[in-house]
Structure 1
Amino acid sequence: MSDDLLATAAAAEPAEGLRAVRALHTLADRLEALHVERARQAGWSWQQIAECLGVSRQAVHQRYGKRFG
């Protein structure tokens, strides 16, 4: 799947490439949420999660705090 998506993202046709980029963003968002949830269930702090994601504690808490508080 990822090889096909990568090939599509690199397509010469802008519409195909942009749809693939959107699909990659969606996949990345879902994976991030999954692992933030797992980290919170494992007792990780917002700071630990933020450091792994390379963002501020405030940013990750703002995005996921209500879901995985």
Structure 2
Amino acid sequence: MTEATDLAEWAGDGDPRAGLRAVAALRRLLERLETVQVRDARRQGWSWQEIATELGDSRRAVHKKYGRR
């Protein structure tokens, strides 16, 4: 199984402690994935607006979060 699949399985565990830890780990994984995708989109010439549209966020919010990386 992949890391994400394992974490999703643990999130559904009956133990709240295990589930909450899995949720936190999934958040960290998602942040890393989003960072990689935004970086790749920028390298390919995407505008901040195009990226924001795909993420369902505002251009300003996406630029603030990733503009200085």
TM-score range relative to shorter protein: over 0.9
Deviations along 1:13-50, one digit per CA (max 9) or x if unpaired, are 11100000011000100000000000000000000000
Structure 1 partner of 2:38: 36
Higher share of residues assigned helix: 1
CA RMSD of aligned residues (A): 0.8
What is the percent sequence identity of the aligned residues? 52
Which consecutive residues of structure 1, in runs of 5 or more, have no partner in the other structure?
A: none
Query: If the length of structure 2 is used for normalisation, what is the TM-score?
Result: 0.92
* Inter-partner Cα distance in structure 2 for 1:47 and 1:60: 8
Query: If the length of structure 1 is used for normalisation, what is the TM-score?
Result: 0.92
Matches within 5 A, 1:1-69: 1=2, 2-67=4-69
1:7: how far off? Answer: 1.3
Task: List structure 1 runs of 4+ shifted beyond 4 angstroms.
Answer: none
Which consecutive residues of structure 2, in runs of 5 or more, have no partner in the other structure?
A: none
Q: How many residues align?
A: 67
* Inter-partner Cα distance in structure 2 for 1:64 and 1:25: 17
Q: Which amino acid aligns with 2:34?
A: E
SS in 2 for 1:66: coil
